[in-house]
Amino acid sequence: MIKSLNHIGIAVKNLDESIEIFRKIFSFENIHRETVEEQKVEIASFKVGDLLIELTTPKDNSSPITKFLEKRGEGIHHISFETDDVNKELERLSNEGIQLINQTATNGAHDLKIAFLHPKTTNGVLIEICQKK
């Protein structure tokens, strides 16, 4: 069962420049940086109230974020919702007719297991389902 919003992912071309733009807007002090080799991305995340914002940039041209940036440009990439059992939730959603990008969870930032739902069946919104390891 989906419990809550976990974070909003924003695709960016230049992580350092984007950090400074968002720092001016939200005046955050603490930032978490991490490379997720499995996803071929580098992320920088910060909190706005209780909400985590995750800036994501590709590590190389084979990253899914590279394709997103080429097709759509910078902007909101995904909305992530937390669950207690991501693989069980994927099975439930598949049975409901929701098209999955990931059939099983993979490793994501912040020590999360993640999987994506295809935007063709979610009104154009890329939705990530995540679970704390």
Amino acid, single-letter form, for residue 20: E
Phi, psi of 35 (to 5 degrees): -105, 130
Average of pLDDT values for 12-36?
A: 97
DSSP string, 14-48: -HHHHHHHHHHHH-----EEEEETTTTEEEEEEEE
Q: How confident is the model at residue 78 (pLDDT cuts 50, 70, 90)?
A: very high
Average of pLDDT values for 91-112?
A: 96
pLDDT of residue 2: 93
37-98-67 Cα angle (round to 5): 35
CA distance 63 to 69: 10
Q: Which residues are bridge partners to 44 per DSSP?
A: 33, 55
Q: Which domain holds residue 58?
A: 2-132
Tokens of 33: 């940086």
Tokens of 53: 């914002």
Q: How confident is the model at residue 112 (pLDDT cuts 50, 70, 90)?
A: very high
Round the average pLDDT of the chain to a whole number and report it. Answer: 96
Higher pLDDT, 95 or 1: 95
Residues, the chain: 133
The pLDDT tens digits of the residues spanning 48-71 come to 999 999 999 999 999 999 999 999
- CATH number of the domain bearing residue 113: 3.10.180.10
Amino acid, single-letter form, for residue 106: T
Domain tally for the chain? 1
CA distance 61 to 39: 12
Express as a percent the part of the chain with pLDDT over 90: 98
Q: How confident is the model at residue 1 (pLDDT cuts 50, 70, 90)?
A: confident
For residue 127, pLDDT beyond 90: yes
pTM beyond cutoff 0.85? yes
